[in-house]
Structure 1
């Protein structure tokens, strides 16, 4: 027998390398969403832009992610995950370098559009895991990679705070950090991720991609810009109306295309539908915590009667970093729970921690230990949710739909984050403290309390989704899905036997 036959230990180490590299890639993806939050003011001052104009630095990434994630997730399923991963990382590196070198707001926004396309890395990474990782290790691997999402979001806030400290902050350093991390992730993918063993092939559904992209833009644009445009303005209402019309156009298109980008039967399949609803609520709660706590702790107590007067750096390192660290560690326990008790139970447990965390934050946010302790509970809740959702998706769709199904789930979280940003920004601006003339308006404490209470209610809904919606969904798994998953398992076992025989 040839020495080329892999031993169990060598296969295990190879799979560990794949998981770590894909975890790094997913972390870099999640950093793109929050990377600019602490530095928007610096960008606005340096580029002499208006608040409305600089808000496009975040909106551009959100829209790009919404448009490209399902398209590239499906493209990876059809034509190979590794080349798609490599291509997306190259685009992200180019966008990061562009953002790091330009002094033009227009080119900065273009760079952010290129960074947003990298969001497709996460569903692609889960597709690779499903293909390469042994079934008994799959839940833990997915939990680790998913856990890096919450960790990356918090790490971006900390990194941005550290890199822009001092009297002369330079926001370009933040984008150089993104470029360096993306290069490391690209090298890891090239060295450790094997070529795809299965490709569905087929033609790309460009019409479906176009109509879905238009639908998402029309939906997310007014959500992200409504505060600037006015929630009852013609532009906002017109965009929402356009989103409703495009929903009908998209559904009609996908129902008539021979090889649709999104299989509508999969899209409305109850486990997938309820998991996406949970993703939207989790995205809302996570972003509410990041934004709410960041603003709360920076409030000057001597002027408004609450807050801690923290700097941007202190807000990130002291108050938000513990949440991200707990999220990373909690993801491992979440993976164990998914394997032993099931994804639905894990999601329920996470929702309960989220309710406790936001209840604590709502009722007692006047001391540093309370804010940090509540945040750690919320971090645990998010990590359990992120560990459970990929497992729910993978258990509900055949292998060739893993990329697109997880891509849609990523979009649901992005939509939740966008809604959280819009809601919290509007709430904080709706009631302000009376300050001397010439000073900027600052929100009343009651608005933070209300924001945290709403996020706690979102976790209550996540628990309801897990306990009621997904329980019902489990009894409704269609014969088609059961047959597809069983067929996939048999094909994978056969492929492993053939691979071992060829190596012998």
Structure 2
């Protein structure tokens, strides 16, 4: 029975359960990225750590995600999505328990490394959807699961704020929340997600995995730590030079391995290449909105002359949660647009909303209603982008490369987010308001305006990438043996992706 026939034979209720469980698992993924942002100050105080040391609580997860996501995405293609999903969730639960029980910064960072492996859940989930869901419903299913990423980021901020309220906040509660949600997701995967019917098998390309991991670490480490090390320091420049050299080593290694971890032809395939570029730009814009608005609304107006003086919880609930809610709801409209307009035009339409939203935020961020309204428009842009990019990837690669291809796309968004964090943080720190001694420096308002304008320009580039870079193309065809002819030979039939670029 082919994948399409198997999907058609499944009950609609079973499909719905699979989508909801995978959506929950994807939501847990995104929560791991932002869960610690509101509690870094509490962790620093409780563990008596320096600012530089406590920053590794976020950097460790980013680097871990960069290393494990492509490796586990490929492993799922080779050996089965469900067992890989279960294994990743078990590692994440163990890391969350460690983080929730330790009082050592070192062991907390180890726990965060283990949590970072959860990022591989998202590309694995998309691979399961491609295998289990009917082609006519695949767009909506991928859009829903993708939409939970933005929702999870907002939920993590709200949850962390609520769990650390009061005069004696305890950051351990936040990690226990991660444990509970991950256990629920694990139970759902165990009882709902079917076992993979087809695996590619083969050897694991450890050389490709190690060289790619080294490349990503050398690239992301200076991006995330550059503001602490100094952008012209020997460590920063040395890492960037090393990343360039390792990129060359990785390409050579993958071209010489019989079963490469990343097929260079797939990686360089025009729709895949430009979709990854769009992912990088979208990740940049999304995180720029998150970090920019978070800082802006917490600026005390009576001191700086602008801002709203909001608390961490107020910034999350009042100003950022509406963006995430719109992203979750808008993902369904994004799925419908993918079906009607095609993934490429949906990506372009969403990016246009992003340009409008950041333009609004740049010129009118002095009123609560404007900040919230602009954020909601940006949330719609993010949801359309999240709905379109998995569809573009699925339409452009054969089924057996879905996991690794979506894994690379996830990493491109993570790289974009890391770059946004570095750029926006450095930009806000570059021009400050003179304040009396003893008061922390505050950025000039013009720096926020410039930050939002840069993020809007990133969305403008996404429009260009979608309309010019991503051309109409058929997905690579993979021969599938469907039937045996009278002569006893197998007649190949070409696999259909069920997704159109335009």
Q: CA RMSD in A?
A: 1.7
Please state if 1:414 is matched with 2:408.
no
Partners of 2:42 and 2:390 in 1: CA distance: 37
Q: Once the 2 structures are TM-superposed, how far is the Cα of residue 484 of structure 1 from its aligned partner?
A: 2.0
Aligned to 1:302: 302
> 2 CA distance for matches of 1:490 and 1:51?
59
Q: Matches of 2:370 and 2:166 in 1, distance apart? A: 28
Residues 133 and 236 of structure 1: CA distance in aligned 2, closer, same or farther (over 3 Å): same
Q: Deviations over 1:162-219 (max 9, x none)?
A: 1111111111111111110000000000000000010000000001000000000000
CA distance in 1 between counterparts of 2:305 and 2:112 reads: 37
What is aligned with 2:477? 483
The 8 Å contact of residues 7 and 134 in structure 2, kept in 1 or not, is answered as no
Asked if the contact 1:18–1:193 (Cα under 8 Å) also holds between the matched residues in 2, the reply is yes
1:136-158 deviation line (CA, Å, top 9, x unaligned) = 00011000001111111111111
Secondary structure (helix, strand or coil) at the match of 2:259 reads coil
Q: Corresponding residue for 2:338?
A: 338
Q: Any idea what SS the aligned residue of 2:168 has?
A: coil
What SS does the corresponding residue of 2:11 show, helix, strand or coil? helix
Partner of 2:101: 101
Partner of 2:499: none
Q: Provide the residue aligned with 1:500 in structure 2.
A: none
Gaps of 5+ in 1: 494-504
Distance 1:402 1:89, change over 3 A: same
Shift of 1:10: 6.3
Tell me, yes or no, if the aligned pair for 2:23 and 2:145 is still in contact at 8 Å: yes
Task: Report the secondary structure of 1:483's partner residue.
Answer: coil
1:221 CA drift (Å): 0.2
Q: What's 1:190 paired with?
A: 190
| Mapped contact 1:399–1:485 kept (Cα < 8 A) | no
Structure 2 equivalent of residue 293 of structure 1: 293
Match status 1:448 vs 2:453? no
Please say if residues 96 and 179 of structure 2, whose CA atoms lie closer than 8 Å, have aligned partners that are also in contact: yes
1: CA distance, partners of 2:238 / 2:77:
35
Equivalent residue, structure 2, for 1:33: 33
Contact 1:397 1:485 in 2 (8 A): no
State the secondary structure of the residue aligned to 2:317. Answer: helix
In 1, Cα distance between the equivalents of 2:481 and 2:462?
A: 32
Higher helix share: 1
Q: 1:496 aligns to what?
A: none
Q: Deviations over 1:61-86 (max 9, x none)?
A: 00000000000000000000000000
Residue 127 of structure 1 corresponds to: 127
The correspondence of residues 32-51 of structure 1 with structure 2, limited to 5 A, is 32-51=32-51
Contact 1:81–1:127 under 8 Å retained in 2: yes
Q: Where in structure 2 are there 5+ consecutive unaligned residues? A: 483-491, 497-502
Alignment partner, residue 20 of structure 1: 20
**Contact 1:96-1:115 at 8 Å conserved across structures:** yes
Distance (Å, rounded) in 1 between the aligned partners of 2:199 and 2:477: 19
Give the equivalent residue in structure 1 for 2:486: none
CA distance in 1, matches of 2:178, 2:449: 34
| Partner Cα distance (1:490, 1:317) in 2 | 52
Residues 398, 485 of structure 1: 8 Å contact kept: no
User: 1:486: Cα distance to partner?
Assistant: 7.9
Counterpart position of 2:218: 218
* Post-superposition CA distance 1:14-72 (Å, at most 9, x none): 01000000000000001111111111111111111001000000000000000000000
Distance 1:96 1:249, change over 3 A: same
What does the per-residue CA deviation read over 1:270-294, in whole Å, with 9 as the maximum and x for residues that have no partner?
0000000000000000101110001
Residue number in structure 1 paired with 2:437: 437
CA contact (8 A) 2:298 2:312 kept: yes
Relative to structure 1, is the Cα distance of residues 170 and 464 closer, same or farther in structure 2, using a 3 angstrom cutoff? same
Tell me the TM-score normalised to structure 1 length.
0.94
Write the distance in 1 (CA, Å) between the matches of 2:371 and 2:151.
Answer: 18
- Kindly report which structure 2 residues correspond to 1:93-492, keeping only aligned pairs within 5 A, or say none: 93-471=93-471, 474-475=472-473, 477=474, 481-484=475-478
Give 1:502's aligned residue. Answer: none
Say whether residues 1:71 and 2:71 are aligned partners. Answer: yes
Deviations 1:222-251 (A, max 9, x none): 000000000000000000000000000000
Give the drift of 1:483: 2.4
Deviations 1:298-339 (A, max 9, x none): 000000000000000000000000000000000000001001
Give the TM-score taking structure 2 as reference length: 0.94
Determine if contact 2:99/2:175 at 8 Å carries over to the other structure: yes
CA gap 1:428/1:199 in 2 versus in 1, 3 angstroms = same
CA distance in 1, matches of 2:278, 2:412: 8
Cα deviation for residue 482 of structure 1 reads 3.7
